[in-house]
Amino acid sequence: MHNGKGIQIPFMNDEKKNSLKSAIEALLFASGEPLSIQDLVNHLEEKAKLIEIIIQEMIEEYDNTSSRGIKIIVIKGSYQLVTKAENSDQIQKLLKKNKRQSLSQASIESLAIIAYKQPITRVDIDEIRGVKSESAIQKLVEKDLIKEVGRLEVPGRPILYGTTDEFLRQFELRDLKELPSLDLFGQDNDVQEEEIGEKR
């Protein structure tokens, strides 16, 4: 068998070739990171030249098929499975949705309180929730949904928290005036709307 450049490789029937393509695709997908030809050789126990030719076929197939949402790219001699650029809008929507869904109930409650009562201290958040909120607040800071916006001028000068531009992006708000009802945050009755519903 020859590829388009005239490089001869051992005969391979369609079943074997498709099996190898499937294995390469699975490895690239599972890795999530670029894999070199040598990485694939180590896993597949096939000759490097054969794998290289098969991957080139796969690249052409992905590029020439509009019904596939993925493709293989080459990065410094290694190969990575990525999504096609034309699907970026749908992917961004999914990532935003998943980021919100990944918040714990404690984080959701704390975020709602901060959004509607900012600037606010951790002690005030604790009082509204009735439980400690330190861990939830730390998670929200790590996710860049809230930040320190100042200090309360009382003994100890506790941190005042407010929401970030990332918070607005994630919840598709132009500004805080567009804050929706607390239903967006999946609130239970643990945090009563009348306690935190006074918008600024």
The reported pTM is: 0.45
Predicted pLDDT at 10? 57
pLDDT in tens, 8-52: 455 677 888 899 999 999 999 888 788 999 999 999 989 999 999
Domains of the chain with bracketed CATH = 14-87 (1.10.10.10), 102-183 (1.10.10.10)
Cα distance between residue 32 and residue 25, in whole Å: 11
Residue 190 has a pLDDT of: 45
pLDDT of residue 9: 52
d(CA 103, CA 110): 10
What are the start-end ranges of the H helices in the chain?
A: 14-31, 37-44, 48-63, 88-101, 105-117, 122-129, 134-142, 165-170, 193-196
3-state class (DSSP) for residue 50: helix
- CA-based nearest residue to 137, from 149, 151, 152, 147: 147
Residues 44, 51: contact at Cβ < 8 Å? yes
* pLDDT tens, per residue, the chain with 200 residues: 444 444 445 567 788 889 999 999 999 988 878 899 999 999 998 999 999 999 999 999 998 888 888 889 888 789 988 888 887 777 777 666 666 567 888 899 999 999 999 999 999 999 999 899 998 999 899 888 999 999 999 998 999 999 998 888 777 787 888 887 655 444 444 444 444 444 34
